Structure 1
Amino acid sequence: MSDRHEPLLQLRDVGYHYPNSKRPVFDELTFSIGAGEFVALVGGSGVGKSTVLRCVAGLIEPSMGHIDKPVHTAKGTRPSAVVFQDTRLLPWRRIRANVGYGLSGLGLSRAERDARIDEVLELIGMAELGDRWPHEISGGQAQRVGLARALAVRPHILLMDEPFSAVDALTRTRLQDELLGIWQRLNMAVLFVTHDIAEAAYLAERVCVMRGTPAQVVFDETVPASYPRQRDDRDLNAFAQRVADAL
């Protein structure tokens, strides 16, 4: 992985309040992510985890504070890409076209776009399914396509908003392991929003916990387990309990 001494993403005293609301949903939020680092953001329902991710993605503007993130990128890349819980695949486009949707406007030739699509479909194990329509694939496969669409733009930061919460338990386990394999292969940071403590502890290098009204980061610690991890590891489960206690 790349050098992580310099923060790739840094939130400094960030806050956000919804229109017509007098109280911010979160306030004075401060944490950073290094290049290539996998950070999970955990918190209860309504605490503002997804709103933080949308601020980082530039989909909404924070009400206060500063977010420092990459702005200069090489040809054919974007600073960040988002994988949502709802895959938001376009039903009138085949899988290949869905994966390549974010590549428009990046200055790539048709051959370069096709090569990029082939690359990420191979990476997610769906190289043979590119000509299918979204309604012809399973929920787990749809999540893989959503991930491939994000990876196709080669983001510095991959932003994931509870991406596996809508699939069954077995598929979720498989997708978690596939994500770890992809992250370890590629040079990118990950901000992974989840309410699942076990998922956060299993996947991430660091776990941050949001709590309170307005919410703040009340816990930010490195997971005491190396990769590859075992889900029944005692140290991992003890750490997960500490995260639960922080909520």
Structure 2
Amino acid sequence: MSETVVKVKNVGRTFVSGDKKDRKEFIALEEVSFEVGRGEFVSLLGPSGCGKSTLLKIISGLLPATSGSVEITEQGNDKVPPFGFVFQDSVLLPWRTALDNALFPFEIMGKREKSDEKHVRELFALAKLVGFEESYPRQLSGGMKQRVSIVRALSYNPPILLMDEPFGALDAITRDNLNNVLLEIWESTRKTVIFVTHSISEAVYLSDRIIVMGTKPGRVLKDMKVTLPRPRNEDTKLSPEFYVYVRELREMLK
């Protein structure tokens, strides 16, 4: 593995509800540990309720851990956050064009220059969105909206990209197409990616490594290295090696 940029060490998260008389605790994560190297594509794979999204929010700092720690050694430039975050929903502002949505982070950070727009237009090309820069979200398909959200997350050039089941709500054909678009973007930018999914085949197709998680409480079952050759394409999914990984993961998650 390359130089470690994200280190998750013994992370736990407990949610508490009710008052003192009727206090209830739910252990979402327990003793979760793994590392991510610079430029790696790592997937968090597991069934619903295993704490994948909770863990991603803890890594990003959006949610505190109850125990353990997360160490980020990769930092952004000029006070730019080290993370770009792609959520399950595209969360685009409906009154802004696709281009203006992608440029919105610069307004939040209080700086927007012509060079930023040039960079974002290059990302639109990578995401196969040329010609849709001036379209509004209502004019875009679900897959196109998610591509805009990926461009927005990469707009300020963060070193780490966090993705929380970004294609989970899409149909199978669109999802497969976006997997290929994402791989092309990753091959071009070589960002460090942590990708949450409950799809076994998606995790195998995209990843260098897969952190397999179990439930009750959420925990790491296995840290699996995927050695399928890159670049990958649809033929990769037809290879015997691909099915070996899928079968092993399916058995593990039964």
Q: TM-score, normalised by structure 1?
A: 0.93
For 1:242, the equivalent position in structure 2 comes to 248
Which of 80, 84, 88 is equivalent to 2:83?
80
- Distance in 2 (CA, whole Å) between partners of 1:37 and 1:13 is 21
The alpha carbon displacement at 1:107 in A equals 6.1
1:93/1:133 contact within 8 Å kept: yes
For 1:102, the equivalent position in structure 2 comes to 105
Partner SS state of residue 217, structure 1: strand
- Distance in 2 (CA, whole Å) between partners of 1:96 and 1:131 is 6
Equivalent runs, 1:74-223 vs 2, <5 Å: 74-75=77-78, 77-106=80-109, 108-223=111-226
**Unaligned segments of structure 1, at least 5 residues:** none
Partner SS state of residue 220, structure 1: strand
Q: Say if 2:52 is the partner of 1:33.
A: no
1:53/1:159 contact within 8 Å kept: yes
1:10/1:33 contact within 8 Å kept: yes
1:83/1:146 contact within 8 Å kept: yes
Partner SS state of residue 199, structure 1: helix
1:5/1:34 contact within 8 Å kept: yes
For 2:21, the equivalent position in structure 1 comes to none
2:228/2:241 contact within 8 Å kept: yes
| Identity percentage of aligned residues | 35
- Distance in 1 (CA, whole Å) between partners of 2:130 and 2:80 is 22
User: 2:252 is matched by which residue type in structure 1?
Assistant: A
Q: RMSD of the TM alignment (CA)? A: 1.6
For 1:231, the equivalent position in structure 2 comes to 237
User: 1:13 is matched by which residue type in structure 2?
Assistant: N
Partner SS state of residue 18, structure 1: strand
For 1:63, the equivalent position in structure 2 comes to 66
Q: Number of residue pairs matched?
A: 244
Superposed CA offset, 1:45-87 (max 9, x none) = 1111010111111111111100001463213843011111111
Q: Say if 2:6 is the partner of 1:9.
A: yes
Greater shift, 17-26 or 174-183, is seen at 17-26
Superposed CA offset, 1:112-159 (max 9, x none) = 332232222122121211111100011111111011101112121111
Partner SS state of residue 15, structure 1: strand
Q: Which runs of 4+ in 1 moved over 3 A?
A: 105-109
- Distance in 2 (CA, whole Å) between partners of 1:110 and 1:224 is 41
**Unaligned segments of structure 2, at least 5 residues:** 18-23
For 1:19, the equivalent position in structure 2 comes to 16
